[in-house]
Amino acid sequence: MAKVELDRLTVQFGDVSAVDGISLVLDQGEFIVLLGPSGCGKTTALRSIAGLQHVTSGEIRFDGKAVTALSPAKRNVAMVFQFVSLYPHLTVRQNVAFPLRAKGVSSHEIAKKIDWIAKVFTIDDILDRYPVGLPPGSRQKAALARAVVRDPDVLLLDEPLSAVDEQYREEMRWELRHLQKKLGITTVHVTHDQREAMSLADRVVLMKAGRIVQVGSPTALFNDPADRFAAFFIGSPGMNFIDLTLAADGLHVAADQTLRVSAPNSVLESARAGGLNQIVLGIRPHMVELTSEEGPDLLPATLLDAAPVGRDLQAQFTLAGQTIRAVLPLEAELRDRRRLRLPPAHCVFFAPDGTRLGER
Amino acid sequence: MAISIPQDETARVKRAPKQVRTLPDSWLCGLFLAPSGLILALMVFYPFFSLIYYSTLQFSMMRPRIEPVDVGLGNYVDLLSDNEIWQRFAFTGKFVLATVLIQFTIGLAVAYAFQRNFKGRDFLFTLALLPMMLCPIVVGFLWRYMFNSEWGVVNWLVSLVGIARIDWLGRSENALWAVAVADAWTWTPFVILLATAAFRGIPKDIKESAEIDGASPMFTFFRVTLPMSLPILMIALLLRLIDAFKQYDLFLAMTGGGPASETQTAAFALGKIAFGYFHTGEASALAIILLIVIMGLSMIFVRYLTRLSNRA
């Protein structure tokens, strides 16, 4: 259990910076998720922490001590890989015992440790089986048990749940979170699945092109995205983006002056200060409301399509040629309600280049 | 030259499919397989069964006019009660163990070294495979000269260390190792080749897992790399054992089986009985015995391999 610091960490492959000078501090026992699209550098960052990846520049510290030059074995890190990395020629028990054997722990001590870890991970019944016949979920549990059994300072997880079936993944997520809290190991988890990130993390580190876009709690990332990329990447279904035109008398939906939209003064001011006449409004589909009232700020829209999804009704509207998705209550009356309300508290605004406008 | 198909011919092909009457599938299969089946029968089964038949006879192919005598299992009884034959098998066993031991020790070590990326690796790898491509009799003479007790390079090296000249090929206990070295020199590349393939087949994630688990290179090699390469290494071992067991040419070139018959392998003895003394019946029986030994060896391996593959 260590405090982990990344200090201007850079990893280059030839001319390409896979990780481009990221700095980050992980508190003891914290569950951090590195999130981002493929190629964003999250796995490279993880492998750097593990010691499997040579770092071009920058420093990695565990509890204030630089480990950048140490081999993986000397860092006391544990790692679970995306695809199962259990040793196929060993039983689950022998797999879990492997890191202890490698360290020269006595057989008696090993037996005790395995008893303990088997209970924690509920793998008693598969201890004497070979990995090959086991379902992916059980295999990853065994891999986690092997990782954790020797009290690592840092636990590194490289998309460990992506090989697990969808139905089972949900359950594994809860279990993983629960176990991490129980064991209190500082954990770095890499994933491209934003739902996984949101449900697991104490803090999410959103990355893009080797840099950190935003660091924060899942709620903060959801409600207060740092830029358009963060807004787009997090949330399902994804955020609506509506092009607006900034005229002298205020904002309206691009291509239709009658569709007026209000925005906080800070947004208008910073847009005008930047000399912008086009800005983008972002709103999550769950926040879009449907109403039969009439008023300023209520936008008449045309229904394109609607489908019930579980307890929700997912609908698509068009507004002056732009599509808006809305997640409505199942009982919503679509027929006579054709006006959309975009509650100002849930609207965020971006400049055309994606930067956030106004106060955060 | 262009081939032109007459108009009516193409027309017939086009409307044909339904009308063509063919033999039942099983007949067709049989028909297609028949030529290779026939060749197999002629080339394998006929000699094999005639060998079994000859092994029950007392006769010599050099004297076809002397009527063969049916002795039943007499040839086998004679051979197995002959002390000399047992000595040939014992010598063969020692030679097989010696050469295979050298091949695998060096082969695995070199294959392990080739895992690392270093400059000139591919060139060295190709170079390391060269001995395998030489013809055995050439290898035999090459090493015979090197082991020559008067002017061979091996004794020259030995003299540098200050040890007296060694009679490498004239004494059977030395000759065993000399020929084993020559055989190992030829066939270690084969072990290198297969071991390299086996080592490379181990997933990167597994190797990195071991590294992170804190395993030393030694620990990783013996607990992960070697066990995971076992299926391929076992096949390599089986092939090397069988080949070493049948070794003939090297002894012919290097020692001629001498002194006396001390460096004759079982295969060498077989050659001598068959084409030296022309005791065809007895030679056939010995050939069958050799075959049974090799088949027994193979069956042990196959059983072990099946067990391995059932687990993985």
Which is nearest to A229 in space by CA: A344, A350, A360, A316?
A350
Token pair recorded at residue B260:
């006396």
Contacts of A153 by beta carbon, 8 Å cutoff, 6+ apart: A1, A2, A62, A63, A75, A76, A77, A185, A186
Span A125-149, pLDDT tens digits: 999 999 988 888 888 889 999 999 9
pLDDT of residue B25: 84
Interface contact flag, A146 B213, Cβ < 8 Å: yes
Residues A279 and A218 in one domain: no
Residues A204 and A224 in one domain: yes
User: What is the residue range of A202's domain?
Assistant: 4-233
Residues A250 and A166 in one domain: no
As a whole number, the mean pLDDT across chain A is 89
Instruction: Print pLDDT tens along chain B (312 aa).
Output: 444 444 554 444 455 555 567 778 888 888 999 999 999 889 988 888 988 988 888 888 778 777 777 787 878 888 888 888 888 888 899 999 999 999 999 999 999 998 888 888 889 888 888 888 888 888 888 988 888 877 888 888 888 887 777 778 778 788 888 889 989 999 999 999 999 999 999 988 899 999 998 888 899 999 999 999 998 999 999 999 999 988 888 888 888 777 877 788 888 888 888 888 888 888 888 899 999 999 998 999 889 888 887 765
Q: Point out the least confidently predicted range of A20-24, A128-132, A321-325, B147-151.
A: B147-151
- Nearest chain B alpha carbon to A80: B209
| B103, B212 contact by CB (below 8 A) | no
Interface contact flag, B212 A78, Cβ < 8 Å: yes
Which residue spans within A248-292 are E strands per DSSP?
250-253, 260-261, 278-283, 289-291
Residues A94 and A58 in one domain: yes
Cis bond upstream, residue A237 (ω within 30): yes
- Nearest chain B alpha carbon to A51: B212
Interface contact flag, A51 B212, Cβ < 8 Å: yes
Residues A223 and A256 in one domain: no
Rg (CA), chain A: 25
State phi, psi for A216 to the nearest 5 degrees: 175, 175
Token pair recorded at residue B170:
């004239």
Please indicate, yes or no, if residue A181 is contained in any of the structural domains. Answer: yes
Domain end call among A202, A233, A264: A233
- Tell me, yes or no, if B213 comes closer than 8 A to chain A by beta carbon: yes
Residues A64 and A126 in one domain: yes
- Tell me, yes or no, if A119 comes closer than 8 A to chain B by beta carbon: no
Residues A244 and A175 in one domain: no
| 3-class DSSP string for chain B | CCCCCCHHHHHHHHHCCCCCCCCCHHHHHHHHHHHHHHHHHHHHHHHHHHHHHHCCEECCCCCCCCCCEECCCHHHHHHHCCHHHHHHHHHHHHHHHHHHHHHHHHHHHHHHHCCCCCCCHHHHHHHHHHHHHCCHHHHHHHHHHHCCCCCCHHHHHHHHHCCCCCCCCCCHHHHHHHHHHHHHHHHHHHHHHHHHHHHHCCCHHHHHHHHHCCCCHHHHHHHHHHHHHHHHHHHHHHHHHHHHHCCCHHHHHHCCCCCCCCCCCHHHHHHHHHHCCCCHHHHHHHHHHHHHHHHHHHHHHHHHHHHHHHHC
Domain end call among A217, A233, A249: A233
pLDDT of residue B173: 81
Which residues in chain B have their CB less than 8 angstroms from residue A150's CB? 214
- Tell me, yes or no, if A54 comes closer than 8 A to chain B by beta carbon: no
Which residues in chain A have their CB less than 8 angstroms from residue B309's CB? none
| A82, A31 contact by CB (below 8 A) | no
Please indicate, yes or no, if residue A359 is contained in any of the structural domains. Answer: no
Please indicate, yes or no, if residue A360 is contained in any of the structural domains. Answer: no
Which is nearest to B263 in space by CA: B280, B247, B275?
B247
Please indicate, yes or no, if residue A161 is contained in any of the structural domains. Answer: yes
A184 Rama class: left (phi>0) / alpha (psi -120 to 50) / beta: left
Which residues in chain B have their CB less than 8 angstroms from residue A76's CB? 214
Given B203, B206, B214, which is nearest A99 (Cβ)? B214
Domains in chain A, number: 2
CATH number of the domain bearing residue A147 = 3.40.50.300
DSSP, res A40: S
Domains and CATH numbers, chain B: 82-311 (1.10.3720.10)
Domain end call among A187, A207, A233: A233
Residues A72 and A91 in one domain: yes
Within 10 angstroms of residue B280's Cβ, the number of other Cβ atoms is 21
Please indicate, yes or no, if residue A358 is contained in any of the structural domains. Answer: no
- Nearest chain A alpha carbon to B203: A85
Which residues in chain B have their CB less than 8 angstroms from residue A82's CB? 205
Give the Cα separation of B176 and B264 in Å (integer). 10
pLDDT of residue A157: 93
Residues A54 and A184 in one domain: yes
CATH number of the domain bearing residue A287 = 2.40.50.140
Return the SS3 of A27.
Answer: coil
Given A52, A76, A99, which is nearest B208 (Cβ)? A52
- The separation between CA B28 and the C-alpha centre of its own chain, rounded to angstroms, equals 37
Residues A203 and A246 in one domain: no
Residues A15 and A146 in one domain: yes
| A167, A131 contact by CB (below 8 A) | no
Residues A176 and A244 in one domain: no
Distance from CA of A132 to the nearest CA of B (A): 6
Interface contact flag, A85 B211, Cβ < 8 Å: no
